[in-house]
Amino acid sequence: MADSNTGPDPSSARDSDKRRDLRTPVVLRVDYDGPDELVFDYTENLSSRGVFLKTVRHFEVGDKIRLMLSFPGLLEPIGLEGMVRWTREDVDPGVGVEFEEGASRQRIEDLIERIRERDPRIVNRLIRVLVVEDNPHVARLIQNGMLGSAERYFGDRLAFNFRTAANGREAIDLLETDTFDALIVDVYLPILDGASVITHVRQNERTRELPIISVSAGGDSARDAAMAAGADFFIEKPMRLRQLLETMGKLLDLETNQAAHD
């Protein structure tokens, strides 16, 4: 298991020594792509009494560690308390962490089960979107715009998680190895164009029902190609964020805030 995101990070050896003297936990944050990834990792690794945590940070035996486990849509991060039992600083550095037993451990196991069941009091509905766009600036605008406006438009019980692909071949590889709730794909792409990606999706039994929004500045010819391949909607570039959100809401049957329409 990797130490993927950490905080707070000590700025000096003095800070590190002071923290050890106080015996307060070092907080390591581990962010997952979604609930299934967290549940799997907990089931396969974290539910045991101990785990090897890959990290280049220096720890000593006896140091306390608090893992904060999170993913987009989780209302509150889950904290898992542990203590360093051994260290390794060779080509694969890390620490062996033993987790505490007791009431707090049982509470975490209960939370994991509620996440598995998608309890709305614990986790928001997560919408996983693949954005296929060869212009990184446009890809960022789509992601940042939807993330910034999702709560106003759909309320606070919904979260978005984005993956991106810069060409059609990369998109197909992601579609074959991951699961998505919607696809936003440009028509004109390098290596493999958007119409070919859409055709692939519709011919694959696992993905044929995937909602698809096609975008392009190519006018009627791009629209015709995308719709003929099987896209659900076509949006002309430059697209308006509201139009994209409205289309996503229709495709996924998402309830919207009335204020968003005013």
Q: What is the pLDDT of residues 6-46, one digit of tens each?
A: 444 444 444 555 544 455 778 888 899 889 999 999 988 88
Considering the domain architecture, whether residues 174 and 201 belong to the same structural domain is answered as: yes
Considering the domain architecture, whether residues 153 and 211 belong to the same structural domain is answered as: yes
Q: What is the CATH number of the domain that holds 200?
A: 3.40.50.2300
Q: What is the pLDDT of residues 110-142, one digit of tens each?
A: 999 999 998 988 998 889 999 999 999 999 999
Considering the domain architecture, whether residues 59 and 135 belong to the same structural domain is answered as: no
What three-state secondary structure class fits 11?
A: coil
Flag residues of the chain having pLDDT under 50: 2-14, 19-21, 259
Q: What is the pLDDT of residue 201?
A: 97
Q: Judging by beta carbons within 10 Å of its beta carbon (0-12, 13-18, 19+), is residue 50 exposed, middle or buried?
A: middle
End-to-end CA distance of the chain: 47
Considering the domain architecture, whether residues 108 and 131 belong to the same structural domain is answered as: no
Considering the domain architecture, whether residues 134 and 243 belong to the same structural domain is answered as: yes
Cis, bond preceding 25 (omega within 30 deg of 0): no
For residue 158, give Cα distances in angstroms to 144, 146, 180, 184, 206: 15, 12, 15, 18, 24
CA dist., res. 65 & res. 63, Å (int): 7
Considering the domain architecture, whether residues 241 and 134 belong to the same structural domain is answered as: yes
Instruction: Tell me the whole-structure pTM to 2 decimals.
Output: 0.71
91, two tokens? 């080509």
Q: What is the pLDDT of residue 184?
A: 98
Query: How many domains does the chain contain in total?
Result: 2
Q: What is the pLDDT of residue 258?
A: 52
Q: In what order do the strands lie in the sheet with 158-165?
A: 158-165, 125-132, 182-186, 212-216, 233-236
What three-state secondary structure class fits 18?
A: helix
DSSP string, 152-196: HHH-SSEEEEEEEESSHHHHHHHHHHS--SEEEEESS-SSS-HHH
Q: What is the pLDDT of residue 110?
A: 92
Q: What is the pLDDT of residue 130?
A: 98
CA dist., res. 106 & res. 111, Å (int): 9
Sign of CA dihedral 27, 33, 39, 45: negative
Considering the domain architecture, whether residues 70 and 152 belong to the same structural domain is answered as: no
Considering the domain architecture, whether residues 93 and 197 belong to the same structural domain is answered as: no
Q: What is the pLDDT of residue 260?
A: 53
Considering the domain architecture, whether residues 108 and 149 belong to the same structural domain is answered as: no
Q: What are phi and psi of 211, to 5 degrees?
A: -65, 135
Considering the domain architecture, whether residues 90 and 167 belong to the same structural domain is answered as: no
- Amino acid (one-letter) located at 48: S
Q: What is the pLDDT of residue 14?
A: 47
